[in-house]
A and B are shown apart, each in its own frame.
Chain A
Amino acid sequence: MSEWRYWLNEQRGTLMGLAIFLLMFAVYIANHPAGLTANVAQTAANKGVLFAFVAMAQTLVVITAGIDLSVGMIFILTNCLASWIVVGEPLPTALGVVAVLAAGMVCGAINGLLVIYGRLQPIVATIATGAVYFGLALLLRPFPGGSVNEDLADALTGRLFGVIPSSLVALAAAVLLVWLPFRRSRLGRAAYAAGSSEQAAFMSGVPIRRGKFAAYTLAGLLAAMGGLFLTFFTYTGEAAYASGSGYTLWSIAAVVLGGVSLYGGRGSAVGAIFGAFAARTTGDMLFVFDVDPLWQPLLQGVVLMIAVSIGSLALLRVRNRLDWFQ
């Protein structure tokens, strides 16, 4: 095999996520009354970026063969927190942003500690912590309200040079500053190794615990970035339970669409971003086709099912049935 085929093999999941997104986005744009204008792109980007941050967070945990059912609640909690403290003059605003991100990391770190040192199953541990985080959000914002530094919010949800949605630039920065260094670091390698085969990783002297802890903590950080953007987007904080649960569940769909294996050890947050945008587009699609709101949840489910099926088409070509289970 030549070099590029190895590369293709490594990136297959991500490229599949990209292909699914492009396909769905093309259908969406082709049927949009306005077509691909800067405005349409900006709105799509802003909505997609919220999802993308949460999906990236989910990816980090899923890579370790875990699952984080609290990502949506960290997202909501940091939104509520930001609506109190990301306000005022530039300096207090900056401190507020740092505090919100730190709060997300603490939430992620608590998940990590429970799973790694408390030896709880990730699914149960994060259901519990998710409820706690939502409880805290509710205490912070019993009723929707609060505000945010609108200059900052407008800058980050607007457009750069009149065309590029600045939220996409922020997302790209998160990929460059958080995801890529993690993936290329020893801890990131340890997270992948632990997810692929924890026993082999232990035998090989890999720092499994630190790798997993880093993954959970950074997941909290990325979810908090999503929470910040939600605040910038809505100018307010709201402890919305349904929204938090929805983001959690759809983040799992997004990582699968993006080629991340739920068994751990395989996949990339970049793929999950494409998956998130694809998942987001399923919702938008129903608007351009002017579907009766009553039918929307059902049809959204059907579209998602089709999208996930495209990703697993490869299984139909399998000639050794044992490969199905790998």
Chain B
Amino acid sequence: MTTAEIQATSPLFRMEGVSKRYGGVRALENAKLDVEAGHIHAILGENGAGKSTLIKIMAGVVAADEGRMLLDGHDVTFRSPAAASAAGIACVFQELSLIPDLSVADNIAIANPPRRFGLIDRRAQRAIAAEALARAGADDIHPRAAVKDLPLSRRQMVEIAKALASKPRILILDEATSALTAGDVAKVFAVLKRLRSEGLALLYISHRMHEIAELADTCTVFRNGRNVASFRAGTRSDSEVVEMMIGREYSNVFPPKPQRAAIAKPPRLECRNLGWGDRLRDISLSVAEGEVVGLGGLDGQGQRDLLLALFGVLRGTTGSVLIDGAPMTIASPAAARASRSAMALIPEDRKTEGLMLPMTVRENLSFAALDHVSRGGIIDRSAEEQLIDEMVRLLAIKTAGLDIPVGALSGGNQQKVVIAKWLMRNPRIVLLNDPTRGIDVGTKQEMYQLLRRLADAGAAILFYSTDYDELIGCCDRVLVLYDGRIVRELEGRGITEHALIASALNVEGGDREGTAA
């Protein structure tokens, strides 16, 4: 957009020359942004490009060092999230801002609960929550349910309902659909389009290109803390946009797959008739060495439980697990990672299950492999050092040093640390639970290549992803789960978006596509 164009319109919200530094790191440099009512404005960029900082400044979470913000043409500064919220800016954060021990209704009404005689009116609060949930298309969620009992995708819907309940004029969605099921995404999109027609300004941050293509009116690309370009949606091709984001050519996102014949190896990991209550039913599968097997289907159909069951986290599973053809009982994560099975699990929630955030990068990296670098219980510092250096180089982890808290790294780099931590043990079986959620394109690409390299080096890989493109691009075979069962197995060219969606919904059509391979 040229300067003349920008001045011709009168934006609802404008940001000028905004900069923010954290220590010596420039998170945002002279950023400009115009947000118009009745528009969906997509913000694109890799992790660490400055998008999160931009949003945090708008939402009053952090203060800018320089620059000004104008709302309706008047200068504004937000000292707290409450102040931004009062000015009509609501934010759906990627890192969920829900309070786990409170109920859904408590959370939705948290900013300004309805009161009678000074006390919170819980009946009115439930009514508000029910209405907000219905507006967000999530009326399956009970307002009295405790947030901590809900799966991630439902929590994200609550988060969206919560933002809507504050009746905002500007709604910011930061990776708001990253954990949602396909059905939810469709509902949320319908809601967002309705809000746009009602005159709201929407800021939409996503790493999913097809979502942006469907929703956005305007796009702004950020790179290294600066806004690189703003343009009307649809005027640039996907690969042009991606090049703007990463500043280099974008090709061969997915590494080539080997021929099927090349991976006709004996199965390394097998399970037979695996069951767990009503969450997993009669699961039989096998993964050969050198093979990448995907788990597909809608979110919450048992994929996560399956990985946890294989990794020895669940109690009371039935059926049998075989490693290299020999039956094994894996009763705990410690047993799973022991040398006989040499399993690794890359968890979905890196913040709680993968990393100890306040501890340093070095400590996090070497935790899982301490027994490999110690003798008689004493850690061999030089062996540890060597292994860590190797991993940091192999995965290209960007960090200011090994002795800073891992929580200070960007999301993509945190995830690399989780993966590196497990790779240090040379696992022969790698289980991945949606490892690229909320991670930028560049890092994703590196991860795909890493997965294939691991497989080529002889590992058996079981890979759950909510992103169909990943399953299509990365996997030799895909098992689709529905209601705790494997309903379809897709192979080679049979792994198509249509086949994945049809079998995920467990409708006809998946069959035809799947067997066409």
Contacts and interface: CB of A to CB of B under 8 A. Distances in A.
Do chains A and B stick together as partners? yes
Interface of A: 1, 3, 6-7, 9-10, 181, 184-186, 189, 192-193, 195-197, 199-207, 261, 265-266, 318-322, 326
B98 interface: yes
B314 A321 contact: yes
Interface stretch (B101-109, B203-211, B289-297): B101-109
Contacts of A189: 102, 106, 110, 113, 120
11 contacts: A193-B102, A196-B100, A201-B99, A203-B61, A203-B81, A203-B91, A204-B81, A207-B82, A319-B316, A320-B315, A321-B332
Contacts of A10: 103, 144, 146
Nearest to A184: B119
Given A204-B111, A205-B85, A206-B82, 4 more contacts: A10-B144, A196-B101, A265-B102, A321-B313
B113 A197 contact: no
A322 B307 CA distance: 13
Which has the most chain B C-beta neighbours within 10 Å: A9, A184, A204, A326?
A204
Interface of B: 59, 61, 80-82, 84-85, 91, 93, 96-103, 106-107, 110-111, 113, 115, 118-120, 122, 142, 144-146, 148-149, 162, 276-277, 305, 308, 313-316, 332, 353
Contacts of B93: 203
B144 A318 contact: no
Contacts of B145: 1, 6
Interface of A is mostly: helix
A210 to B, nearest CB: 11
Given A319-B315, A320-B315, A322-B353, A203 B97 contact: yes
A326 B148 contact: yes
B120 A186 contact: yes
A206 B98 CA distance: 11
Contact of B315 (A197, A203, A318): A318
Given A181-B119, A200-B96, A320 B314 contact: yes
Given A206-B110, A320-B308, A320-B313, A265 B101 contact: yes
A12 to B, nearest CB: 11
Contacts of B107: 204
Contacts of A318: 315
Contacts of B61: 202-203
Contact of B118 (A7, A185, A203, A206): A185
A200 B81 CA distance: 11
Nearest to B56: A203
Contact of A193 (B84, B110, B115, B315): B110
Contact of A186 (B101, B115, B308, B314): B115
B97 A200 contact: yes
Which has the most chain A C-beta neighbours within 10 Å: B100, B111, B332, B353?
B100
B115 A197 contact: no
A185 B120 contact: yes
Which has the most chain A C-beta neighbours within 10 Å: B80, B144, B276, B277?
B144
A321 B332 CA distance: 9
Contacts of B277: 319
Contacts of A206: 82, 110-111
Nearest to A263: B101
A321 B98 contact: no
B146 A204 contact: no
A320 to B, nearest CB: 5
A222 B162 CA distance: 35
Contacts of B82: 205-207
Contacts of B142: 1, 6
B346 to A, nearest CB: 15
A325 B368 CA distance: 19
Contacts of A261: 101
Contacts of A200: 96-100
A206 B112 CA distance: 9
Which has the most chain B C-beta neighbours within 10 Å: A10, A193, A261?
A193
A204 B103 contact: no
Nearest to A185: B119
Contact of B100 (A3, A202, A265, A321): A265
